């Protein structure tokens, strides 16, 4: 009985992930963009956009903290460097945040 419950629970989790929008889809649809602080931001508010931003930013924060600790620098410094690289790598037509905080297409 316990194993059947675990299989059912795993199936539900996997099915929710199948419906979730990917980061690349969210960027291509103009829902999210790269911010100057190294984190993803919501361009057009929707549940999909908020979900992607929350998930990606949690992973980024953990990664930035790991790098900062390893190199004995601040998390904000790591995030700023990551922002520069992410904005540089952003595809044409996707959104980035400009210095005044506005969303613009690259």
pLDDT tens digit sequence for 32-45: 999 999 999 999 99
Residue 91 has pLDDT above 80, yes or no: yes
Instruction: Give dist(CA 87, CA 96) in Å, integer.
Output: 7
Query: Over 70: is that where the pLDDT of 18 sits?
Result: no
The rounded distance, in Å, linking the Cα atoms of 65 and 35 is 18
Confidence of residue 8 (pLDDT cuts 50, 70, 90): very low
Provide the pLDDT for residue 25.
96
Give the mean pLDDT of 3-14.
42
Angle at CA 11, nearest 5°, toward 5 and 14? 140
Alpha helices in the chain (DSSP H): 2-19, 23-28, 47-71, 75-89
Q: How far apart are CA 85 and CA 94, in angstroms?
A: 15
Q: Count Cβ atoms below 10 Å from residue 94 Cβ, excluding itself.
A: 20
* Region of poorest pLDDT, from 10-19, 20-29, 48-57, 60-69: 10-19
Instruction: Tell me the pLDDT band of 30, cut-offs 50, 70 and 90.
Output: very high
């Amino acid at each position: 009985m316990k194993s059947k419950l675990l299989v059912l629970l795993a199936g539900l989790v996997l099915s929710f992930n199948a419906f979730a929008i990917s980061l690349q889809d969210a960027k291509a649809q103009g829902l999210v963009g790269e911010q100057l602080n190294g984190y993803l931001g919501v361009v057009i508010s929707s549940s999909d956009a908020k979900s992607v931003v929350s998930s990606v930013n949690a992973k980024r924060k953990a990664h930035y903290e790991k790098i900062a600790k390893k190199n004995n620098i601040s998390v904000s410094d790591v995030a700023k460097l990551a922002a520069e690289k992410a904005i540089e790598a952003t595809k044409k037509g996707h959104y980035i945040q400009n210095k005044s905080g506005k969303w613009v297409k690259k």
